[in-house]
Amino acid sequence: MPLSGEAIRTMNYVDDISVTLRRILTTLPSLTEEERHRIAEYIKNSEPNYETVLNSIEKK
């Protein structure tokens, strides 16, 4: 079954998220431990976060 245009666009959004996460990963070594900790907390507290989206997808 072919994917709808909306599904393909959504998959492109996931690709964009992956690119952003790779950029974050390449930056982390240059940060201090405190900065990494603050970024980790910022990501955990962002809403919606990756886990929230995955849970929403799995529920439907």
For the chain, domain boundaries? 5-59
Which comes out higher in pLDDT, residue 60 or 8? 8
- The pLDDT value recorded for residue 35 is 98
Decide if pLDDT at 60 tops 70.
no
C-beta separation of 28 from 36 below 8 A = yes
Amino acid 1: pLDDT:
86
pTM greater than 0.85: no
C-alpha 40/C-alpha 3 separation (Å) is: 35
Task: State the amino acid at position 19 in one-letter form.
Answer: V
- pLDDT for the residue 9: 98
Which tens digits make up the pLDDT trace of 7-57? 999 999 999 999 999 999 999 999 999 999 999 999 999 999 888 999 999
